[in-house]
Amino acid sequence: MSDQLTRRDFAIRTAGFGLAMGLVPAATLAEAEQASRSETSPTVADPYSLVDPELLPALKQFPASFDLSAETVRQFRQMPGTPPLPAPTPQPVERHIPGPPGAPEVRLWVVDPAPLEKGKPLLLHMHGGGFMMTGPGWMPLLQEIATECHCVVVSVDYRLAPETRYPGSLEDNYAALKWVHAHAAELDIDRSRIAVGGESAGGTHAASLAIHARDRNKEDVPICFQLLIYPALDDRTGSSEPAPPPVGHFLWTPSANRFAWSSLLGVPAGSSKVPVAAVPARVASVAGLPPAWIGVGAIDLFAEEDMEYARRLVHASVATELLVVRGAFHGFDILVPDAEVSKQFSASWKSALRKAFATSS
């Protein structure tokens, strides 16, 4: 299996980047355009005109929008996962660790690119999937990160919404963070070089974990860096705060965002009932957080909230790099990995991660 085919399969089948076409009836191009216009401001007559030309053919294979529901989540969860890339690519190893008090064990996937090497950096990874699903093809991504960034990757199979509401998944991720710190010698890692990161909902979890670890600093589980790949950071986007006209037309829409956040929180997204600590954008202060890389497409639903979060970090004197990609929608780099904008995007976050590890040693 080639890396290109694996990454494309990852895109088509991972809910964090858009549900598989098999979950909703395939739309003709005319139907897709009509569905898109139904949510479009008159100021954006044709949302497709904003898309980078290299990304457009693949995008038009998808319905312009879909209804995220309990049924589509159920169908998605039944889909088989994509297997890891074969050896000599480093192989994922399944581990089970104690969960939060009173909760089940937490499953981890560990990918070590150099088992005989000591003092390696580590990325604690949280997968995407709209808070409710597990990316079935995320194993090849973990292998890619471990190989290209020469770090141990530990990915957390946190409990999913709506069966587990906030703060269950956060507690699972924090248990994993404490475990990698406590087992640094066993993992042959340098505990001063532990980063957190994820894509889409995984980026949400990574940002929340960085905040939680800061607020519980007495437990001494420092994080050197946060890698936030088009993260969902504000439950109010598409609910109490309408999305700006140019964004959120493709693959991840305002309605999907409302459903996902409400499923995680257990209360309506955007409402006054939302716990402030559950949403990175609602947290009063971002001072003292680890350095960050934030990347997002300019027409991704999360573009504005990601830029605002980066602004807050900069104002709080947190070293921050922000990349906004013209003409790019949610998950563009996975859907069309060979596009020039995708290659530049992936190179940027990998370079940022490697630099963070180098400067933290």
Secondary structure of residue 72 in the 3-state scheme: helix
Q: What Å distances lie between residue 48 and 34, 51, 327, CA to CA?
A: 12, 5, 9
What is the residue type of 332?
Answer: F
Residues 6+ apart with CB under 8 A from 158: 106, 126, 168, 169, 172, 173, 205
What is the residue type of 326?
Answer: R
Positive or negative: CA dihedral 209, 124, 151, 193: positive
Q: What is the full DSSP assignment across 9-29?
A: HHHHH-GGG---GGGSPPPPH
Residue 35: HSE in the Cβ half-sphere, 13 Å Cα cutoff: 20
Evaluate whether 250 touches 329 at the Cβ level (below 8 Å): yes
Bond before 162 cis per omega within 30 degrees? yes
- Whether 208 is a known active-site residue: answer no
Catalytic residue (one of 36, 65, 169, 200):
200
- Whether 330 is a known active-site residue: answer yes
Rounded CA-CA distance 197/210 in Å is 9
Catalytic residue (one of 208, 330, 342, 346):
330
- Whether 300 is a known active-site residue: answer yes
Which residues in 98-223 belong to E strands, given as ranges? 106-111, 120-126, 152-157, 189-199
Which residues in the chain belong to E strands, given as ranges? 93-97, 106-111, 120-126, 152-157, 189-199, 225-229, 292-297, 320-325
Q: How many CB atoms lie within 10 A of CB 140?
A: 21
Instruction: Pick the closest to residue 225 from 207, 199, 205, 204 (CA basis).
Output: 207
Task: Tally DSSP H helices, then E strands, for the chain.
Answer: 12, 8
300: which 2 tokens?
């991704």
Catalytic residue (one of 300, 306, 333, 360):
300
Evaluate whether 140 touches 84 at the Cβ level (below 8 Å): yes
Q: Which residues participate in catalysis according to the annotation?
A: 200, 300, 330
